[in-house]
Structure 1
Amino acid sequence: MRFRSTVSMFRPLSVALCALLATGLCFEAGAQVSPYSQSVAIAAADQDAIATFYAARAYAPVWTGAEDADRRAALFAALARAEDHGLPVQRYDVQALAAAFRAARTEGDRGRLEVRMTRAYLDYVHDIHSGVLTPAKIDPGIVRDVPRIDPALALSVLTGGDLAAYLASIVPTAPAYAQLVKARLRLMAQMARGGWGPEVPGGEISARATGAEVVALRDRLVAMGYLRQTATRDFDDTLRAAVQRFQSAHGLEPDGVVDEATLAEINVAPEQRMKSILVALERERWINIDRGHRHVWVNLTDFTARIIDDGKETFVTRSVIGKNVPDQRSPEFSDEMEYMVVNPSWSVPRSITTKEYLPLLKKNPNAAGHLKIVDSKGRVIDRSAINFGKYTAANFPFSMRQPPSDGNALGLVKFMFPNQWNIYLHDTPSKSLFDREVRAFSHGCIRLARPIEFGHALLAAQSDDPQGMFQKALDSGQEQALKLETHVPVHLVYFTAFPGAKGAMNYRRDVYGRDALIFDALLDAGVVTGGHQG
């Protein structure tokens, strides 16, 4: 790197010139200011954190000095690996930065390059730690509070500390993130070799099939890694077992039957799976937080709720999530479970009361007789005393409540992590829905197939007899709250690509279409699906 010495080329920078340049960082009239300092001040003027940082250190460089070689190398090394994380590498183009170093000739060039490096550094810190996108701008159902690094804090690292260690420390630490990075690289290599081969023809393959369609199925499963190389042309037990492994990894009923749904998933192109991985990497960055040594993990696309203890799954149950219609899709956020309510009453949400029940009550005041009509003071009102016909959704003054019972919409227990969206986990009397493959039927809350066992597992952390503790409350027949002595983090997430127990990738359908929106936004931000981005 060569710079033409301009130390002797100082000249006064007048107050008038400061105002003209509108840098907001004026020097005293008559002060001798180097072209380097001027260019730094001007280049940094539109970003307060950078401007304040350089002004506080009298515009001393952190990247372009001879003594900054190690710091430069640490940043260049991180930026060179940005593509591995599915980041928009053109945002902090390492090749262009390196070329700018080679091309710099003047102190003005050096000052502008100094700020350019700092901008790239802050962009990378933001993207690798917190994600490229702002979730709520993509879909209103993603209400996650994303962790952010204060730019001033990130800049302070440049004047002290190990930059390479810092850059490594802000990468998401969840094991799934590193596995997704590896899965992306494996899939890229597979795509470079031609992907998984031709699609399997036909709408389904019968259990006794033989011939070309079986060969096509066999070859595709081999390419995907679900089957060892074989020469069979028959749909034998080995091939059926491979189909079952594929089904399990894709959220399908593992019956070994190649029906239309299974074949449709088998024929999904690797480029489409790459989209899921890139979105999953971004989602992992959005949840780059301490998730809790014990936490509840509800993956909406997987239709499951799990208890995770120190990284290991200790309980799992099927779940039902919100319907794929506006205002009923389950949101994504993290909170803390504080207590469970045994024998809960159901306070019918206002939207359900006015949109679903009020029209029925206008036709028949005795409709929905299992629900009580309650006034603003909590008193139960005799239906015969109410003229439902004179009310609208806007002025209906009553609420509705279902007392505890076996037929209660919330079942026998609900699990509370109070939040503004009134979302919680609960039991349900509608058990047949858990047999469905796609389970999106609720108004937004999460229904559990094994809620009582879920409650036992949570209480086991604070009781030697969790089953007895739960059963005593249940047997009372009365609504009772059982507090959790230690609150348990709850994460409602939406991953269509995630590693299984042994690291192999699992894929799920984009039931709400959210991943498609995120992927399009990533493309707009400069992320590409594969190959070199430079």
Structure 2
Amino acid sequence: MILLNKINFKSYWHGLMLGMCAILLLTFESCKHTKRSDMAQTIYDVNKNKAFNKVTEEGFQPVFQKILAEKKSGLKNPVLITTFYKDNGYDPVLVLDHMKGEDLKTLATYLKKSGEHGLNPKIFQADEVNSLVDKFYSKDAIKTTEEAYETMARLEVALANSLINYTNSLQYGLISPRKIYARYYTETKRPDSTSMKKVFAIADMKSFLDSVQPKNPQYIALQKALAANVQVPGQTAEETERMLKVNLERLRWKNKPTADKYVIVNIPDYRLDVMEGGKSVMNMKVCVGEGRNIDRSADLTEYDESDKVDRPFSRETPQLNSAIYTAQVNPVWNIPKSIATKEIMVAAAQDPYYLSNHNMAVYKNGKEIEDSETIDWSSAGPNDYEFKQRPGDDNALGKIKFLFKNSSSVYLHDTPAKLAFNKPMRAVSHGCVRVERPLDLAHALFGDGTKYETIKNDMASGSAEPKNVDLSKKVPVYLTYVTCWADENGTLQFRPDVYGLDVVLLAHLNKYLTA
């Protein structure tokens, strides 16, 4: 009897669970698509066009499927859009959920005004959306049920495509920098399917569109300058406009520092800042890598079509984000192969005392050669030797270097060549960043205490032995590239496009008009 009760209870529980699952499945399916049995009346109440009096959900679906297939190749996110409508019974959610009030007209207006963000309205098919919206709301522009279906279908597709593209562009940027720049190593968040699908559930269009407007004060300052047609002295109005547009795009990229304390180097400004709590607590001049655009440093002359592909000069400082984890006092310079081949070996061939005079050691197969003066450099291959410069007053890295992980073997470091800091154009290094006041940077990173005192004393002593001093807490470091911004007084600052990266970005922004 007890066993029977257990069996009955088990059967009962199993049946109950199956029933609950079925209810949940039905509920989920019903949430995915709600029947619109009153479609005709709902639309007619809004636009008073009799051509919509006989439209039905069943009649609309095949027309919508046809238009979706026809337009698919022109959509920026074709799989996401077509899958969404397939999963939701080809319901024109954007048209039907937003046709009352001013929502659709508001979207059309915002798309037409995208030029305020430095973006061409053509990118978002602003004219097409505006034309379709006007046609949909007209009492007599649509004459037949078939035309009503087609107009509504084309409008729904255009709304979905343009709304997603506009939202993505303002929240994440139109361009992915990692796809257009050869030496860009800053992680940049891009939109995903979850964020894009949110547009189909918007409650109020204007509130949503206002919410995606970037709120960064820097962004707003550049927007205002663009609207006011600000012109930089010595540049044409067109050149200034281009600088504003590309830097607005940079501000839209989701890759900005979020830590309370970090180090940031702006390559075109030749400046390093230590930031805390959103404010610069210390800044200094830097020297950065040589760039491809030295001769064009005062303008934004467009490159030809082939230069839309980024081809950086070998010595350009890369854009990256990492974290400073240690300082090496009285460092050894492990000379990169490119410098060794193109410079060191050439100089050694011309002067047998060059290596000893510059405190450099030469290695073959990992073993130091005691008498480098005996080497026959005329027969030496580019991979035969390795070079290191020992610590000392003439070491190219000076008294200290600050290390952070990166794939380009760059770091922040001191330098014995101090005169370069007095020059206005400081793109002169091999790629690393030379800092003007390295001891001050060490103090800003380590603070008061034993580690800073060790650094200070060892730098002063000029020890022949390198010493690593680790940071207790890593400090983020950003090497970035910004040619236009508003300073703390609200004054716009412009810097020459020393690496030509503005031009590369502008070329890709313009490509969207012909894509």
TM-score between both structures, scaled by the size of structure 2: 0.74
- Distance of 1:184 and 1:318 partners within structure 2: 29
1:358 correspondence with 2:363: no
Distance (Å, rounded) in 2 between the aligned partners of 1:524 and 1:367: 51
The answer for the alignment partner of 2:408 in structure 1 is 421
CA contact (8 A) 1:89 1:526 kept: no
SS at match of 1:492: strand
Q: What is aligned with 1:153?
A: 195
Pick from 456, 481, 491: which aligns with 1:471?
456
Correspondence 1:35 to 2:63: yes
What is the match of residue 85 of structure 1? 117
**Equivalent position of 1:57 in the other structure:** 88
Return closer, same or farther for 1:100/1:488 CA change in 2, 3 Å cut-off: same
* Residues 268 and 353 of structure 1, relative CA distance in 2, 3 Å threshold: same
* Cα separation, 1, equivalents of 2:346 and 2:365: 20
Question: Given the alignment of the two structures, is residue 319 of structure 1 paired with residue 271 of structure 2, yes or no?
Answer: no
The aligned residue for residue 215 of structure 1 is: none
Matches of 1:352 and 1:374, distance apart in 2: 15
Are the equivalent residues in 2 in contact too, given 1:7–1:34 (CA < 8 A)?
A: no
Q: Specify the alignment match of 2:427 in structure 1.
A: 440
Tell me the residue number matched to 1:392.
381
Superposed CA offset, 1:188-242 (max 9, x none): 2x6xxxx7xxxxxxxxxxxxxxxxxxxxxxxxxxxxxxxxxxxxxxxxxxxxxxx
Alignment of 1:490-529 (within 5 A): 490-526=477-513
| One-letter code aligned to 1:390 | S
Q: Is the 8 A contact 2:326 2:470 kept in 1?
A: yes
SS of match in other structure, 1:63: helix
The answer to whether the Cα contact below 8 Å between 2:321 and 2:476 also exists between their aligned partners in 1 is yes
Q: Which has the larger radius of gyration?
A: 2
Q: Please, which moves more after superposition, 349-358 or 133-142? A: 133-142
> After superposition, where does 1:2-21 map in structure 2 within 5 Å?
2=49, 4-5=52-53, 7=55, 10=58
| Structure 2 partner of 1:298 | 265
Matched with 1:112 is 154
Q: Using the alignment, how far apart are the partners of 1:345 and 1:9 within structure 2?
A: 75
Indicate conservation of the 8 Å contact 2:168/2:196, yes or no. no
Given the alignment, which residue of 385, 394, 418 partners 1:431?
Answer: 418
Give SS of 1:481's match.
strand
Q: Does 1:268 align with 2:235?
A: yes
**Aligned partners of 1:62 and 1:68 also within 8 Å:** no
- In structure 2, the residue matched to 1:331 is 318
Residues 181, 362 of structure 1: alpha-carbon distance in 2 compared, 3 angstrom cutoff: same
For residues 79 and 487 of structure 1, what CA distance do their matches in structure 2 show?
Answer: 43
Q: Which has the larger helix fraction?
A: 2
| 1:9 CA drift (Å) | 8.7
SS in 2 for 1:158: helix
Which deviates more from structure 2 when the two are superposed, residues 36-45 or residues 79-88? Answer: 36-45
Q: Contact 1:406/1:412 (CA < 8 Å) preserved in 2? A: yes
Please state if 1:283 is matched with 2:250.
yes
Match of 2:398 among 407, 411, 415: 411
1:250-269 superposed matches below 5 A? 266-269=233-236
What does 1:141-220 align with in structure 2 at a 5 Å threshold?
Answer: 141-159=183-201, 167-168=209-210, 170-186=212-228, 188=229
Aligned match of 1:480 in 447, 464, 467?
467
Q: In structure 2, how many angstroms separate the alpha carbons of the residues matched to 1:36 and 1:473?
A: 75
Cα deviation for residue 163 of structure 1 reads: 6.2
Q: Distance in 2 between matches of 1:342 and 1:170?
A: 47
What amino acid is the match of 1:451?
P
Q: How many residues are treated as equivalent by the alignment?
A: 428
Aligned residue number for residue 33 of structure 2: none
| Residues 69 and 398 of structure 1: CA distance in aligned 2, closer, same or farther (over 3 Å) | farther
Is 1:383–2:372 an aligned residue pair?
yes
Deviation for aligned residue 1:476: 8.3
Deviation at 1:33, TM superposition (A): 4.9
Conserved? CA contact 2:171–2:252, under 8 Å:
yes
* Local SS of the residue matching 1:498: strand
Deviation, structure 1 residue 379? 4.7
Instruction: Give secondary structure in 1 for the equivalent of 2:475.
Output: strand
For the 8 Å contact 1:129–1:288, the answer to whether it is kept is no
The answer on whether the counterparts of 2:105 and 2:130 sit within 8 Å (CA) in structure 1 is no
Per-residue CA distance 1:6-48 (angstroms, 9 max, x = gap): 556957xxxxxxxxxxxxxxxxxxxx95433443455447611
Gaps of 5+ in 1: 12-31, 196-264, 528-534
- Looking at structure 1, the residues matched to 420 and 324 of structure 2 have their Cα atoms a distance apart, in angstroms, of 25
Paired residue secondary structure (1:416) = strand
Residue 360 (structure 2) aligns with: 371
Any idea what the Cα deviations from partners look like across 1:320-365, whole Å, max 9, x if unmatched?
1112352112222322222222221100011000111122333444
Q: Quick check: 1:347 aligned with 2:311?
A: no
Q: Describe the SS at the equivalent of 2:410.
A: coil
Aligned-partner Cα distance in 1 for 2:104–2:387: 64
CA distance in 2, matches of 1:467, 1:8: 77
Once the 2 structures are TM-superposed, how far is the Cα of residue 473 of structure 1 from its aligned partner? 5.0
Give, in angstroms, the shift of residue 441 of structure 1.
1.1
User: 1:500 Cα shift?
Assistant: 1.0
Q: Is the 8 A contact 2:355 2:372 kept in 1?
A: no
Segment of structure 1 superposing worse, 465-474 or 448-457: 465-474
Offset of residue 382 of structure 1: 4.1
SS in 1 for 2:470: strand
